[in-house]
Amino acid sequence: MAKTAVKPSKKKGMKGTSRTSLALISMMVPGIIYLIINNYIPMAGLVVAFKQFDYAKGIWGSGWAGFGNFTYLFKTRDAFNIVRNTLLYNIVFIILGNILAITVAIMLNFLKGQMNKKVYQTLILIPYLISMVVVSYIVYGFLSMDSGFVNKLITAFGGTAVSWYTQAKYWPVILTIVHLWSGFGYSSIVYYATVIGIDSSLYEAASIDGANVWKQIWHITLPGLRITIITLVLMAMGRMFYSDFGLFYQVPMRSGLLSSATDTIDVFVYKALTQLNDVGRSSAAGLLQSVLGFIMVLSANLIVSKVDSDSALF
């Protein structure tokens, strides 16, 4: 008699699948709980932006201010200056930061030896991990009037020492250099992770066809980075109305003489909060920054979808 083939039990297969799903869900639970506690529950506090907050009465007992808290940013005499600084710095940071990060990522890809790549990746990431307070003192060590390295170098060549912390005209360049130095390492590693994922056979085929290094970068590497570039730029545009508080407040050593070049929305709100102790206005500024950033992301993504629908995030 022929033996009947034993069919695999569907129940066993379903049981295995359910166990896998349960394991994946259990891994998601801590992250979901964190998001709910850290990101969603605090959103109830946005009501403070529409109230004349009184500590004695609490959030719900304080009187309503409507949109009055939102108007103070635009009524102040510094409104144009702080909005201009915030936007222009972010535009420069996005453009120069991505160019520098892409360049470094491509250079890392052409390095020989895995050990060299790991060493350079570690070195360029270190500035990103340093606190901005520490960075501010490093910058002060370079720019101090009496003992700064830059002024000593200038005087050694017969020049006159510059009082960097009293002249605002130098600080757009200084802040840009500090931002690029401290932030390009992280972005370059993100780009590098994309570069090493590009099929190496494309480079081999291009080399056989006579394409030099520059042509390989232009026709293979940069197109391969397109989606990553668009994603990072869109994410950066979502924070166009935010600024690195440590960079603009700590690095200039809180010098009031530099406020025309260093005051951004975040710095202005912090100063207003510490001087006026008005929680409602600071909450309104944060909500306004988030809404405007969201609009910027939607607008940028819409433009990308019109040019190349496959490259849009949504």
Mean pLDDT over residues 85-107, rounded? 93
- For 295, the domain range is 63-311
Count of domains forming the chain: 1
Structure tokens at 86: 């915030």
Task: For residues 273-302, give the mean pLDDT.
Answer: 82
Question: Is a pLDDT exceeding 70 seen at residue 7?
Answer: no
201 lies in a domain?
Answer: yes
Task: Please give the DSSP secondary-structure letter assigned to residue 112.
Answer: S
Q: How confident is the model at residue 174 (pLDDT cuts 50, 70, 90)?
A: very high
In a domain, 13, yes or no: no
Residue 127's pLDDT band (cuts 50, 70, 90): very high
Give domain status of residue 10, yes or no: no
Segment 149-177 shows an average pLDDT of: 93
Residue 107: inside a domain, yes or no? yes
Let me know if residue 77 belongs to a domain.
Answer: yes
Q: Is residue 180 part of a domain?
A: yes
Mean pLDDT value of segment 194-211: 88
CATH of the domain at 281: 1.10.3720.10
C-alpha–C-alpha distance, residues 266 and 279, integer Å: 14
Helices (H), the chain: 10-35, 58-61, 68-75, 79-109, 114-129, 132-143, 149-156, 171-195, 200-208, 213-216, 222-237, 245, 259-262, 265-276, 279-307
Residue 198 maps to a domain:
yes
With beta carbons less than 8 A apart as the criterion, state whether 300 and 238 touch.
no
User: Whole-angstrom Cα distance, residue 239 to residue 230?
Assistant: 15
Q: Is 11 part of a structural domain of the chain?
A: no
Q: Residue 17: what pLDDT?
A: 66
